[in-house]
Structures are given as C-alpha cells and as structure tokens.
Amino acid sequence: MVTNRTFSARLAQYALVIFMILVLLTCIIPIWHTVAVSFSHKSYAAAGMVDFWPKGFNTIAYQQILADPVFVNSFFVSVKRVLLGGGINFLLAVLMAYPLSRSPQEFRFRNIYMWFLVFTMLFSGGIVPLYILMKSLGLFNSIWALVLPGAVPVFNVILLVNFFRSIPKDLVEAGHIDGAGPWYMLFKIFIPISTPALATITLFSVVGHWNAFFDGLIFMRTPEHYPLQTYIQQLVVQLNTQSIDSTQVELLSKLSNQTLNAAKLVVAIVPILTVYPFIQRHFIHGIMLGSVKE
C-alpha cells in the first residue's frame, strides 16, 4: 500500500497515538488506583491521599484477608464453582453443539431442538419462579444452585454450532467412509480442531461463573456458602440500607476500610487478569468464526 508521509499525516498519527494512550489510561487507572490503595496505609487511603502510588506501603490488608476464614472460604467456593460449572458448561456445549451442527438431512429433529434452545434463551419465567423452584428442590446453600440453572450455556452452544458448521464437509464425509460414528467424530475430530472456538466459550463460561454474584446472594442463605463476588458485594459494595441520606452514603463509603476493600477487589481481579492474556488471542478468532455465517 502506498503511504504518503506528509507533515499533516504524521501530525495526525501523533495525535492518534496520544488519544490512544489516553484511552488506555482510562482503562488502566481505575485498576491501578485500586492496587495502589490496597498497598497503602489505612489513614492515607481514608483521607483520599492515594492516587497512583501506594502511600505508607504495607501488606496488612492482604494479611488480614488471608486471616479471614470467610473470605478464604468464599474464594474456594468460587474456585469450586468455576471448575464444576465450567466443566459442565463445556461438556454440555460440546455434546449439544455437535448434533445441532448437522444438517436437517443428517439429523431430522435438528431445527425443532434449535428453536427450543433459542426459545429458552430469549424467554424466561423470571427470578421469582426460579427462586421458588430452587427452594422446593431444596437446593438452597448447595453449590448445585450456582451451577445447574446455567448448566446449558445456550449462547455458547450457538457459537459452537456455527463454528462446527464451518468445518469442511469433506472431512466429515471422509470420517463417515472410514466408519467413524458420531461420538468418535465429535471427540477425535471436531474437538481437536476447534481449539479457538472452545477456548472462547470456555473463557466466557469461566468468567461468567467467576463474576456471578446474584445467584449466590439469593440461593445461599449463610455467608459460608457465598462465592467470592457475593461476599464482596455484601461487604464492599452494598449501600442499600433501608433508610439513608446523602451524608450517610458518604459516611458509609468512608467508614468502610478502603485498603481492605481494595485488597479484596484486587484478589478477585487477579485470576481473570492471569487467565485472560493466554486466551485473548484465541477468542477474537473464535467469536468472529462463530458469528460469520454463509
């Protein structure tokens, strides 16, 4: 491509770079600031004197968190939830996407099943009936309450269906001729060549499970069963006390121990930031392949 490196073009390029750096800063600063607060001395944080660098550096907040059995426990509830829920999501997505990716000639009921899935994705009974169902199933306080309602990741199934359909027909036919049945085709051919799509849906469901707080809040009756986000929501975020005026909003956010809160947020962010870079390069590819249809 021909590029004209005139003065104005270069100026525009510099302006663009500066703009991009500003945008980057808006994405980084809130997180960076939280990290800085978490390592600061309590009194500096409460006085609002910490901006981008810890003042009165210490790790007391993190020591306190580690010594808080409820926090540590909720962290492991979340880990358990991610592994169990993520595993179930993965298995069900793969199992459902394969038959649904076959043409109606190959699998006669395909379209009926597909519409059923889309219907459940678009329409729901709402939270009140779900709450009553979980209560009557006796699932309150059980990890299954966090895992089962979202066990079928319908959106991910559709992404994967679209990805599977882009796999060349020749490959499938070659498999059939060699006598491969559906299970063999799925586990030995489709899954191994679908890494980008599988990485994408895995990231989505793992992040979804890690970030969910609401089901923990309504289905878990005691704090020992809270997943991490629900724990944080209850202690760090919630300002919804019954009677409140504007000075109290201020007071509540000031009285709370900011360094401790910040440290809790950081602990909840770190796992995501560690996993994210490894999957990032796959997911853009995965989303694009899953969304483009011919």
Q: Which phi and psi angles does 239 have, rounded to 5°?
A: -110, 10
When the beta carbons of 65 and 157 are compared against another protein, the nearer one is 157
Closest separation between CB of residue 268 and another protein, Å? Answer: 6
Amino acid at 46: A
Residue 291 engages another protein in binding (rule: CB under 8 A): yes
Nearer to another protein, 66 or 207 (CB): 207
Q: Quote the least distance from Cβ 223 to another protein, whole Å.
A: 15
Q: Which residue do the tokens 């121990």 mark?
A: 257
Query: Which residues are CB-neighbours of 235 under 8 A, at least 6 positions away?
Result: 261, 264
Nearer to another protein, 20 or 83 (CB): 20
Binding mask 145-184 for another protein (x = CB under 8 A): ---xx-xx-x--xx--xx-------------x----xxx-
Residues in region 196-255 near another protein by CB under 8 A = 207, 210-214, 218, 229, 232-233, 236-246, 249-250, 253-254
Contact assessment for residue 74 and residue 228, using Cβ atoms and an 8 Å cutoff: yes
Residues 50-89 contacting another protein, CB under 8 A: 51
Helix extents (H) in 166-242: 169-177, 182-184, 195-211, 214-219, 228-232
Is residue 270 close enough to count as binding another protein by CB under 8 A? no
Q: How far is the CB of 59 from another protein (least distance, A)?
A: 19
Contacts of 258 (CB under 8 A, 6+ apart): 37, 42, 45, 46
Burial grade of 197 (CB within 10 A; 0-12, 13-18, 19 or more): buried
Residue 152: CB atoms within 10 A of its CB come to 18
Residues in the chain: 294
Q: Does 99 bind another protein (CB under 8 A)?
A: yes
Among 11, 70, 255, 292, binds another protein (CB under 8 A): 292
Shortest approach of another protein to residue 93 CB, angstroms? Answer: 8
Q: 15-34: which residues touch another protein (CB under 8 A)?
A: 16-17, 19-20, 23-24, 26-31, 33-34
